[in-house]
Amino acid sequence: MAIEESDKIAGNYEKNILRRQPGNTNFLLTTGFKFTLQRIPSVTYFCQSCNIPAFSFSEIIQPTRFNPAKHPGRGYEYGDLDITFLVDEDMVNYLEIYDWMRLMGNLEDHSEYEENTNQHFSDASITILNSAMNANLSVNFKNIFPKSLSGIDFSSTNSDTEPLLVTATFAYTTFEVVKL
């Protein structure tokens, strides 16, 4: 249905309030996701939470006699990607990230360092599910690598057996959101 020019307000907004209603009134669910990291597939099953990182655009402030004028800058800034996952009893998923980090840095000697820097990176994605739990969107991360891995706290004072959770923080080059 074409929007008549008389039905528009300045800036392409419709005057007719009935035409401004959203087509989909379902909410995004916090449980509707699947995290996939190519280099460490064992984390996918145990992933409990992840985030779509913050995304901001820089600004340039132009001084004037009155109030400073703000203009769009030249670069994007990306926040960190954090995932929280359950640690399996063999610690396979924890050790995959731990070993990845050891290959990128010189901890004790050069024998552990991976000289092929292409091996330092991987790609990852968060598949966002709709209310029917079908894939709806994909957030694709390029050149991801681990920055930190939280510690594991053991305690003999807990009366319930609770699974251990670990948080890994990743940096990356860029991400894009794609409609599936």
Give the closest residue to 32 by CA, choosing from 152, 178, 131.
131
pTM, to two decimals: 0.78
Residues 77/172, Cβ–Cβ less than 8 Å: no
* Residue 71 CA: distances (Å) to CA of 13, 60, 66, 76: 24, 5, 16, 14
- Summarize pLDDT for 98-131 with one digit per residue, the tens: 999 988 876 666 655 556 677 789 999 999 999 8
For residue 53, the model assigns a pLDDT of 95
Sign of CA dihedral 15, 19, 23, 25: positive
For residue 147, the model assigns a pLDDT of 95
- Confidence tier at 1 by pLDDT (50, 70, 90): very low
Bigger pLDDT: 162 or 12?
A: 162
- Summarize pLDDT for 30-40 with one digit per residue, the tens: 899 999 998 88
- Summarize pLDDT for 47-101 with one digit per residue, the tens: 999 999 999 988 888 888 888 988 888 888 899 999 999 999 999 999 999 999 9
Please compute the mean of the pLDDT values over residues 5-13 and round it to a whole number.
55
Taking 60 as the threshold, does the pLDDT of residue 9 lie above it?
no
